[in-house]
Amino acid sequence: MSDVDLSKLGPTAKTRPEPTLKGAAAAVAGVLTVIGLAAIAIDAYLPDGSRPVAIVCGLVAVAAGYAIVIKLDRPVRPAGVAMITLGTLFATIAVFDDISNTTLPLLVLAIAWGAQYGIGPARGELPLLVGALAAAWLLLLDAADSDSAVGGDGTGFFVTPDTPITSDDDLVTYLSLALGLLLLAAAWTLDKDGWHGVATGAVIVGDLAFVVGVFGVVGTLDSDAIGGILVIAAGVILAAIGAAGERRFTAWLGGTGVLIGILALLDSIIDSDEAVQIGVAAIAVGALIIAGIVLLDPERQHERGDRKGDFWDGIASDTIEYLPDDSDTEAQPEPEEAAIAASWHPDPRGRHELRWWDGTAWTANVSDGGVATTDPDGA
């Protein structure tokens, strides 16, 4: 991925969305506009099933969104992007509301959102990428599950295909899991290469597909213990990817998965009626995790190494002759200093109370208040 140049997507390919109040308000305004157009379309559709009005309303939303993006841009650009994204969805639903499955509309949505993300005035906008990836995910599930159909109420509005939560088809479950892992791996690589904006879209859909896939797989298992271990492993993967890309939600989602997996594992090992035993086990596991974090913390290990070095350096200065290194030869003694025997003397550098003179040069060994330490910088 390091050879891939995504700069044509604009600055948003590298930057994550800015959580500004104006941007959020503009997005809300765009959504409200599309809802208003949808209400007009529904009012025209219900009496005689007139789809042209709904199609026109969807296209008007898209056109108005592009007008905002081109003419007004910031700070109301989020409103235009919301109208383009939802208007595309609205128009597609209006065009394909009489078919018996969702394959074609999902394909159209994936292509339409993907094309608008890659080219045009709205290129590089995150909602379009998320929409394209989500449509591709649902299209994949739809291809694996042939039971998708129009709404049972006879209105003709299409429904999403069965998912691992509602379907007994194991293939759908494993496809979700595989796609989630693929998107998360792509997000990790993109974050590493600096394409944080593109990675955000992959993470959003990847998190959802991965979680759905994991719990779908767990639902097919007969062992609660194995299911708990699987959820723990999935949580660790999410947390690691979130930490590597500095993505708080993914990291916390992974941590939550680990928590759920541990509780499920404890419940499978210990009789659920023994609340005290489960409580003690939970406390013990929590203590072990804390101890592991403390013991494996590299900064703490470094600090301990420094303190240990200071201690032994202090002992050595009182018991053995100091062996100068190359840095000590830089401080050449004055003629009168050469005649002084090796002993403690007031620090000529003024950095400490005493400094050790070895008979030929000032050393790094110093003393303050009777406590011996080292000061290589002052030698």
* pLDDT string in tens for the chain (379-residue length): 456 778 888 888 888 887 788 889 999 999 999 999 988 888 876 666 667 888 899 999 999 999 999 998 778 999 999 999 999 999 998 888 665 668 889 999 999 999 999 999 999 999 999 999 999 999 888 877 654 333 333 333 333 344 444 444 578 888 899 999 999 999 999 988 889 999 999 999 999 999 999 988 888 888 888 888 999 999 999 999 888 888 888 999 999 999 998 888 888 887 666 677 778 888 888 888 788 877 877 665 555 555 555 544 554 444 444 444 444 444 445 545 445 778 888 888 778 888 888 888 888 888 887 778 888 766 6
Indicate the residue among 197, 220, 243 that finishes a domain.
Answer: 220
Q: Using alpha carbons, list the distances in angstroms from residue 348 to 341, 369, 378.
A: 16, 17, 9
Residues in the chain: 379
CA distance 51 to 119: 29
- How many domains does the chain contain in total? 2
Chain Cα centroid distance, residue 321: 55
Q: Is 277 within the bounds of a domain?
A: no
> DSSP secondary-structure letter at 334?
P
User: What pLDDT, in 10s, does the model give residues 68-79?
Assistant: 999 987 789 999
Q: Tell me which residue has tokens 């590597």.
A: 244
What are residue 354's DSSP bridge partners?
346, 367
Indicate the residue among 165, 190, 220 that finishes a domain.
Answer: 220
The SS3 assignment for 102 reads coil
pLDDT recorded at residue 323: 45
Q: Tell me which residue has tokens 């007994």.
A: 168
What are residue 345's DSSP bridge partners?
355
Q: Is 286 within the bounds of a domain?
A: no
pLDDT recorded at residue 173: 86
Q: Is 266 within the bounds of a domain?
A: no
pLDDT recorded at residue 48: 63
Q: Which residues contact 249 (CB under 8 A, 6 or more apart)?
A: 207, 242
Cβ atoms 354, 345 nearer than 8 A: yes
Q: Tell me which residue has tokens 């210990």.
A: 270
Q: 350 is in which domain, residue-wise? A: 300-378
By C-alpha distance, which of 281, 367, 279, 277 is closest to 318? 367
pLDDT recorded at residue 158: 30
Q: Is 325 within the bounds of a domain?
A: yes
Cβ atoms 355, 373 nearer than 8 A: no
* pTM of the model as a whole: 0.68
Indicate the residue among 189, 220, 251 that finishes a domain.
Answer: 220
Q: Is 243 within the bounds of a domain?
A: no
